[in-house]
Amino acid sequence: EKYGYLHQDNHIHNQAEMQSAIREFQWLSRLPITGELDRATLRQMAEPRCGVSDEGSQQLWAQRVNAIFTAGRDHGGQPRRRKKRSASQGEKWYKRHLTYQIVNWPRHLSPGPVRLAVRAAFQLWSNVSGLVFQEAPEGPADIRLAFYEGDHNDGSSNAFDGPGGTLAHAFLPCRGEAHFDMAERWTLNGHKGHNLFMVTAHEIGHTLGLEHSPVRHALMSPYYRKLGRSLVLSWDDIIAVQQLYGKPLGGRPVRLPGQVFHAALQEWELADAPSGHQGTAQPLYCQGVFDAITMDQNETVLVFRGSVYWTVSAEGTVSAALPLRQRWPQLPLAIEAAAFSPLDSKWYFFKGKRMWRYTGSKLDPGFPRKSSDLGLPRHPDCAFYYAPLGHLVLFKGSRYFVLNLKTLRSEPYYPRRLSDWTGVPQGTNGVLTRPDGRLYLFRQHQFWRFDPVKVRVTREGTWVQELSWTGCSNTLLNNNIL
Contact assessment for residue 100 and residue 122, using Cβ atoms and an 8 Å cutoff: yes
Q: Is the dihedral of CA 109, 195, 439, 466 positive or negative?
A: positive
The Cα–Cα gap between 91 and 85 comes to 9
* Active-site annotation holds for 91: no
Q: Cα–Cα distances in Å, from 349 out to 71, 290, 319, 337, 392? A: 53, 14, 21, 6, 12
> Per residue in 367-395, pLDDT tens?
999 999 999 999 999 999 999 999 999 99
3-state SS of 326-381 is HHCCCCCCCCCEEEEECCCCEEEEEECCEEEEEECCEECCCCCEEHHHHCCCCCCC
Q: Is 387 left (phi over 0), alpha (psi -120 to 50) or beta?
A: alpha
Residues marked as binding? Answer: 50, 142, 152, 154, 161-162, 169, 179, 181, 184, 202, 206, 212, 220, 291, 293, 338, 383, 431
Q: Where are the domains of the chain?
A: 1-46, 61-77+88-270, 275-470
> Per residue in 57-116, pLDDT tens?
667 766 766 776 665 444 444 443 333 333 343 488 999 999 999 999 888 788 888 898
The pLDDT value recorded for residue 8 is: 75
Residues marked as binding for Zn(2+)? Answer: 50, 152, 154, 169, 179, 202, 206, 212, 220
Q: Which one-letter amino acid corresponds to residue 431?
A: V
Q: How confident is the model at residue 43 (pLDDT cuts 50, 70, 90)?
A: confident
For residues 279-307, average pLDDT = 84
Beta pairing, strands 97-102 & 132-135: parallel
Contact assessment for residue 182 and residue 106, using Cβ atoms and an 8 Å cutoff: yes
User: Catalytic pick from 203, 211, 269, 336?
Assistant: 203
Residues marked as binding for Ca(2+)? Answer: 142, 161-162, 181, 184, 291, 293, 338, 383, 431
Q: Look up residue 384 and give its DSSP letter.
A: E
The pLDDT value recorded for residue 82 is: 33
Q: Cα–Cα distances in Å, from 383 out to 140, 283, 396? A: 48, 23, 9
The pLDDT value recorded for residue 380 is: 93
Query: Is a pLDDT exceeding 80 seen at residue 462?
Result: yes
Q: How confident is the model at residue 314 (pLDDT cuts 50, 70, 90)?
A: confident
Distance linking the first and last C-alpha atoms of the chain? 61
Least confident of 188-192, 381-385, 422-426, 468-472: 188-192
The pLDDT value recorded for residue 266 is: 66
Query: Is a pLDDT exceeding 60 seen at residue 464?
Result: yes
The Cα–Cα gap between 311 and 315 comes to 11
What CATH architecture applies to the domain 275-470?
Answer: 4 Propeller (2.110)
> Per residue in 203-253, pLDDT tens?
999 999 999 888 888 999 888 888 877 889 998 999 999 999 999 887 778
Contact assessment for residue 37 and residue 22, using Cβ atoms and an 8 Å cutoff: yes
Residues with Cβ within 8 Å of 413's Cβ and at least 6 positions away in sequence, in order, are none
Q: Look up residue 158 and give its DSSP letter.
A: G
CATH number of 61-77+88-270: 3.40.390.10
Q: Which strand (E) or helix (H) includes residue 6?
A: none
Burial of 62: CB neighbours in 10 Å, binned 0-12, 13-18, 19+: exposed
Phi, psi angles (nearest 5°) of residue 349: -125, 145
Phi, psi angles (nearest 5°) of residue 126: -70, -25
How many Cβ atoms from other residues are within 10 Å of residue 26's Cβ?
Answer: 20
The pLDDT value recorded for residue 175 is: 85
How many Cβ atoms from other residues are within 10 Å of residue 342's Cβ?
Answer: 12
The pLDDT value recorded for residue 187 is: 84
